[in-house]
């Protein structure tokens, strides 16, 4: 892959979701690897760009060792992109697929820092709304790092999603499914 976006070199694909792609990138100015999140390259929907920018603004407010920080946001040819710290490792989902169920001690070792990170987000008025194993990275030392605040919501913000649901059904809190209540409890349930 020999492409660039902004000043960043794209070196390969790290992952792909329903609406976005994450690339391994290189910042030639600071001489470091980064993760670059873009919307699917064939999509130019302004509302999706607004959603990605909202994620950037939400994550930029958070400072916690267990949250993957954002370094930059930019736009190229009408396409918004976010630049995050590159965290070598694997998602918790991949780890669980490889190793099977965790012991209670290992589960607590992973869950405690995740809950600390989510508590910090809640203290800043941000609800993750899509906390799940594939949105938790385990770095090379096994330290969990929460990522992908793509559908995060502000505490006490009106729900503007209409009749649609946002998130992953298996991790949705019962009160969200039944009454569309989106509170901090939804993240606790997902954890």
Query: What is the distance between the alpha carbons of residues 149 and 176, in angstroms, rounded to a whole number?
Result: 18
**156 counts as catalytic:** no
Q: C-alpha distances in angstroms, 68 versus 19, 73, 158?
A: 19, 14, 27
Residue 65, burial from CB neighbour count under 10 angstroms (0-12, 13-18, 19+)? exposed
Q: What angle is formed at CA 79 by the lines to CA 65 and CA 137, rounded to 5 degrees?
A: 25
Which residue out of 130, 159, 163, 187 is catalytically annotated? 130
SS3 166: coil
Local structure of 165: helix, strand or coil: coil
Please tell me the distance from the alpha carbon of residue 9 to that of residue 23, in angstroms, as a whole number.
10
How far is residue 136's CA from residue 57's CA, in Å, rounded to a whole number?
A: 19
Report the catalytic residues.
130
């Amino acid at each position: 892959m020999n492409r660039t976006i902004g000043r960043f070199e794209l070196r390969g694909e790290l992952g792909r979701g329903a609406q976005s792609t994450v690339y391994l990138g290189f910042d030639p100015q600071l001489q470091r690897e980064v993760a670059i999140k873009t919307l699917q390259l064939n999509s130019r929907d302004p509302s999706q760009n607004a959603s990605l920018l909202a994620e950037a603004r939400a994550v930029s407010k958070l400072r916690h060792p267990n949250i993957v920080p954002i370094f930059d946001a930019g736009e190229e040819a009408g396409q918004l992109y976010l630049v995050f710290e590159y965290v070598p490792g694997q998602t918790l989902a991949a780890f669980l697929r490889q190793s099977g169920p965790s012991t209670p001690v290992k589960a607590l070792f992973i869950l405690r820092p995740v809950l600390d990170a989510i508590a910090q987000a809640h203290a800043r008025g941000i609800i993750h709304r899509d906390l799940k194993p594939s949105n938790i990275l385990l770095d090379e030392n096994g330290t969990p790092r929460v990522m992908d605040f793509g559908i995060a919501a502000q505490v006490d913000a009106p729900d503007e999603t209409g009749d649609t649901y946002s998130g992953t059904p298996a991790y949705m809190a019962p009160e969200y499914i039944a009454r569309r209540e989106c509170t901090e409890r939804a993240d606790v349930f997902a954890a």
